[in-house]
C-alpha cells in the first residue's frame, strides 16, 4: 500500500522529529514557555491553511466519498484541534493582538505553500498526500510519548490531544483515504509530496525552537554592510 511505502521512505525524518530538542524538552518539562507560545501561534497559522486545503481539495474532487471525508476533516479541525488550541491560548494569555503582531514564520509559510502547490500540481490526491504526515506523525508522537508524559501540565495536555480516540480515529481515516486516492500512475508523485511534508514537519520544530523570523541573519547583515 501507498502508506506502507511512504512510512518506510520517511522513517529517518520521523525519527528525527520524535527526537528533536523541541519534543525532548517538552517531555522533560524544560522547553521554555515562550517557545511553546511561539509554536502555538505558528501552528495556529498552519492549521488555518490546513483546514482551507481540506475544503479546496474536496471541491476539486470528482469522488463524492473523497469530497465528503475532506469536508468532514475540515469541520473536525474547526471543532476539535483548532478549538483546543484556543483553550491553550487562554491558559497562556495569548491574545488576538499578539497573534496579529506575530508574522507567519518562513518555514511555516514554505510548508503551507508546498501544500497548495501539491494541490495545484497533483490535484486532490496530491493534497491528501501532503496533508497526511501532519496527521500521522502527531498521532505517533502522542501514542509514544503521552504515557511517559511531561511534568508541565499544559505540555502533557498537548501530548494527550494526539493520543485521544477521536484524533487517532480521524488519522486512521486519513490513512485509508490516502490509499484510496493513490494509483499506479500517481504513486511516485504522491510519495515525493509526502516526503517533502515530512521534511517540513521536522523543520517546523526547529522553526519554533529558533523563534524563526524574516530578519536578515547577522552574518549576512554584516556582509551587506561591508558592500
pLDDT recorded at residue 33: 97
pLDDT recorded at residue 75: 85
The C-alpha cell 491553511 sits at 49
Residue 187: half-sphere exposure toward Cβ, Cα within 13 Å:
13
Rounded (5°) CA angle 68-74-77:
140
Q: Quote the cell numbers at residue 226.
A: 561591508
160 falls within a domain:
yes
126 falls within a domain:
yes
**CATH number of the structural domain spanning residue 19:** 1.20.910.10
Selection from 150, 146, 151 nearest residue 161 by Cα: 146
pLDDT recorded at residue 226: 54
Residues that are catalytic: 134, 201
pLDDT recorded at residue 216: 85
Report d(CA 45, CA 105) in Å as an integer.
9
Per-residue confidence in pLDDT tens, the chain, 227 aa: 999 999 999 999 999 999 999 999 999 999 999 999 999 999 999 999 999 999 999 999 999 999 999 998 888 877 767 677 788 999 999 999 999 999 999 999 999 999 999 999 999 999 999 999 999 999 899 888 888 889 999 999 999 888 877 777 888 889 999 999 999 999 999 999 999 999 999 999 999 999 999 998 776 655 455 55
Which contiguous run of DSSP H or E holds residue 63? none
pLDDT recorded at residue 225: 53
3-class DSSP assignment, residue 143: helix
221 falls within a domain:
no
226 falls within a domain:
no
Looking only at Cα atoms, what is the longest distance across the chain?
A: 60
**What's the number of domains the chain is made of?**
1
| Residue 58, domain extent | 2-210
56 falls within a domain:
yes
pLDDT recorded at residue 222: 59
142 falls within a domain:
yes
Q: Quote the cell numbers at residue 192.
A: 515525493
222 falls within a domain:
no
pLDDT recorded at residue 136: 93
219 falls within a domain:
no
Amino acid at each position: 500500500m501507498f502508506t506502507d511505502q511512504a512510512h518506510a521512505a520517511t522513517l529517518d525524518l520521523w525519527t528525527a522529529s520524535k527526537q528533536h530538542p523541541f519534543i525532548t524538552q517538552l517531555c522533560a518539562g524544560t522547553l521554555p514557555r515562550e517557545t511553546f507560545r511561539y509554536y502555538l501561534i505558528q501552528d495556529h497559522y498552519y492549521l488555518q491553511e490546513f483546514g482551507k486545503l481540506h475544503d479546496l481539495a474536496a471541491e476539486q474532487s470528482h469522488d463524492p466519498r473523497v469530497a465528503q471525508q475532506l469536508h468532514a476533516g475540515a469541520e473536525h479541525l474547526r471543532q476539535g484541534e483548532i478549538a483546543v488550541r484556543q483553550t491553550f491560548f487562554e491558559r497562556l494569555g495569548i491574545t488576538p493582538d499578539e497573534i496579529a503582531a506575530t508574522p507567519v514564520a518562513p518555514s511555516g509559510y514554505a510548508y503551507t505553500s508546498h501544500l497548495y502547490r501539491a494541490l495545484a500540481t497533483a490535484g486532490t490526491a496530491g493534497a491528501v498526500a501532503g496533508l497526511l504526515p501532519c496527521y500521522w506523525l502527531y498521532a505517533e508522537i502522542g501514542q509514544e510519548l503521552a504515557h511517559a508524559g511531561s511534568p508541565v501540565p499544559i505540555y502533557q495536555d498537548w501530548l494527550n490531544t494526539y493520543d485521544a480516540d477521536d484524533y487517532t480515529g480521524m488519522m486512521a481515516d486519513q490513512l485509508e483515504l490516502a490509499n484510496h486516492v493513490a494509483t499506479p500512475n500517481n504513486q511516485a508523485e504522491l510519495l515525493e509530496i509526502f516526503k517533502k511534508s515530512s521534511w517540513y514537519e521536522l523543520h517546523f520544530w526547529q522553526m519554533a525552537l529558533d523563534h524563526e523570523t524574516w530578519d536578515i541573519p547577522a552574518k549576512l547583515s554584516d556582509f551587506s554592510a561591508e558592500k
